[in-house]
Amino acid sequence: MLSLTHSPTTQFSWNGEIYDIDLAFDTVLLYLQLQEDQELNPFQKWRQSCKLFFGKNQRLPSDPDFYAKSFEKISRIITDQPYGLKEPEKDDGGIEATKQFDYVRDAGAIYASFFEQYGIDLNKERGKMHWTVFKALFDGLGPKTYFQRILEIRREDASKIEDPTDRQELLDAQNYYAVDGSKTEKELEQQALNSSSLSNMFDSLLDQAKKGGN
C-alpha cells in the first residue's frame, strides 16, 4: 500500500546484509504472468520469481529462511489493500464471476488511460515506477478513461436492455472487448486484486523456498 510518509520498499535486510528488491510495476506484472504459465512446475516458477525480484547479479544466501521471509515481505507489499478486501462476486450458481480485465490483453487500454489521465507514458516508467505507485494510480483511473469505459461495457447486463437493437449493440461490444481465456474461476484479475488469491501464489513459492536455497 502506498505511503505518503515512507518511501516504497526496495530492499530487504537479512543478517546484517541489505539486498535489493525489484518491485517495479512491470516486474510484478511479469511475476503475475509467470504464475499463469502452465508449462512451468512450482520449483521453476520459484527460481524465475527469485530472478525477477532479486536480479541475477546479487549473491543471495543459501538459507531457506531468507527466501521464506523475503517472499513474505514481497507478498505483503503486492497484496496490501488500503480499504479492506472484497469477496469475489459469484453468480447464482456459486461460481466466481469471470474476470473483468487482464493486464496483458488490456495493456493498450491501461497505457492509454494512464497517458490520458496522468500524462504518464508507462513505457518510460518500466523499471522505475514502484508497484505501490502504479497500483494507486491504476485504482484511481476515472470513469471516462478508455480502460474504465471498457470495464463498464463488460459489466453491463444486456438482459436488462429492452430495445433489441441497443441490446445487440451491447452484446457486440462485449464480444469485441471480451477477455480471452477459458478460465472462469480464480482468474488473473482476482489474483491481481484479491489478497487471498495472491497469497496462495506466494504460499506455493514459499513451499519451494523452504525446501532449499538459491
pLDDT higher than threshold 70 for residue 119: yes
pLDDT at 43: 87
Provide the 8-state DSSP code for 38.
T
CA distances from 133 to 8, 130, 163 (A): 8, 5, 43
Number of Cα atoms under 13 Å in the Cβ half of residue 43: 5
Tell me the per-residue pLDDT of 96-105, one tens digit each, with 9 for 90 and over: 344 688 898 9
The amino acid at residue 138 is: F
DSSP secondary structure, 64-105, as one string: HHHHHHHHHHHHHHHH--TT---PPPB-TTSPBPPPS--TTT
Q: How confident is the model at residue 191 (pLDDT cuts 50, 70, 90)?
A: very low
Tell me the per-residue pLDDT of 41-85, one tens digit each, with 9 for 90 and over: 888 998 999 999 999 899 999 899 999 999 999 989 998 888 765
80: left (phi over 0), alpha (psi -120 to 50) or beta: beta
Please give the model's pTM, rounded to 2 decimal places. Answer: 0.77
Of 142, 10, 147, 32, nearest to 79 by C-alpha is 32
Specify the higher pLDDT residue, 82 or 183. 82
